[in-house]
C-alpha cells in the first residue's frame, strides 16, 4: 500500500513539473513573439558648415564699365566765306568756298537761264566761240518774284554745269559743281584782286531793287 501511494505521489509530482515547464514554455513563446522594434531614426541633424575667418565667401560684383571719354566740341565751320560788296550801284555777294567740290543748288523753284561769256580783247562777249579762250557761265534761276544769278569759274576746268538752259527746277535741285579751285569770272572781267570763287546777285524780278543773297548761304 505504501508503494502504491509513493508511486502515485511520484506521478503527481512529475505531472506538476511538466505542466510548469509547458506553462513556462508557453510564457516564453508569447513573450518571444515581440513586435518589431522601431528602426533607429535616420534623420540626421543638419549642421551648418562654418568657414574660418578670411575664407568666408564674398560677393563678387560685375566689373563697372568705364564711362566714355568726354569729347570736346568741334567748332563747325561755315562751308562758305561770304563778302558783301557793291559795284555800279548794285549789291553782290562774293563767295569763297571752303569745302572741296561743293555743289550749288537752286534756292527756290523757277526757270533756269544759262549763258556763257568770254573775255576777248578786254571786252566781255556773250555768244562768242573762241575755243582757245575759257567760257564763263552765268547760271540764273528766275521765279515770279526774284531772280538769282551765279557767276562761277570757267566751264570744264573749274565748273561742271548740272542743268541746261530753259529747264525748270525745284528748290534743292543741283545747278553746278565746283570741280577744282579757281576764280569766278568776276576776277577776269572786273577785279583781279578779289579772291571770290562765285559771285552772286539777287534782285526782284520786276527790277525794282536788290535783295540780300546771303540768306541762302548761311552756315548750317
The tens place of each residue's pLDDT in the chain, 220 residues long, gives 454 444 444 444 444 434 343 344 433 332 333 334 444 444 444 444 444 444 444 444 555 555 555 444 433 345 679 999 999 999 999 999 767 789 999 999 999 999 999 999 999 999 899 999 999 999 999 999 999 999 999 999 999 999 999 999 999 999 999 999 999 999 999 999 999 999 999 999 998 899 999 999 865 4
Total-model pTM: 0.65
Structural domains present in the chain: 80-216 (2.70.70)
Q: What CA–CA distance (Å, rounded) separates 115 from 55?
A: 91
Q: Among 140, 193, 145, 194, which Cα is nearest to 167's?
A: 140
Q: What CA–CA distance (Å, rounded) separates 197 from 73?
A: 30
Q: What CA–CA distance (Å, rounded) separates 61 from 47?
A: 29
Q: Among 113, 90, 107, which Cα is nearest to 201's?
A: 90
Amino acid at each position: 500500500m505504501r508503494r502504491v501511494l509513493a508511486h502515485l505521489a511520484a506521478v503527481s509530482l512529475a505531472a506538476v513539473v511538466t505542466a510548469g515547464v509547458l506553462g513556462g514554455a508557453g510564457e516564453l513563446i508569447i513573450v518571444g513573439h515581440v513586435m518589431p522594434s522601431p528602426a533607429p531614426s535616420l534623420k540626421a541633424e543638419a549642421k551648418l558648415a562654418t568657414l574660418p575667418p578670411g575664407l568666408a565667401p564674398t560677393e563678387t560684383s560685375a566689373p563697372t564699365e568705364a564711362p566714355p571719354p568726354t569729347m570736346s566740341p568741334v567748332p563747325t565751320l561755315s562751308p562758305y566765306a561770304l563778302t558783301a560788296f557793291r559795284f555800279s550801284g548794285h549789291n553782290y555777294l562774293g563767295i569763297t568756298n571752303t569745302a572741296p567740290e561743293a555743289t550749288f543748288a537752286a534756292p527756290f523753284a523757277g526757270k533756269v537761264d544759262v549763258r556763257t561769256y568770254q573775255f576777248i580783247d578786254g571786252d566781255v562777249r556773250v555768244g562768242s566761240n573762241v575755243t582757245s579762250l575759257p567760257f564763263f557761265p552765268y547760271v540764273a534761276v528766275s521765279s515770279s518774284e526774284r531772280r538769282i544769278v551765279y557767276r562761277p569759274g570757267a566751264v570744264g576746268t573749274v565748273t561742271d554745269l548740272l542743268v541746261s538752259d530753259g529747264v525748270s527746277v525745284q528748290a534743292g535741285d543741283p545747278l553746278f559743281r565746283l570741280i577744282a579751285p579757281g576764280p569766278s569770272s568776276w576776277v577776269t572781267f572786273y577785279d583781279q584782286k578779289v579772291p571770290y570763287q562765285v559771285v552772286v546777285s539777287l534782285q526782284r524780278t520786276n527790277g525794282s531793287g536788290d535783295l540780300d543773297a546771303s540768306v541762302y548761304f548761311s552756315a548750317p
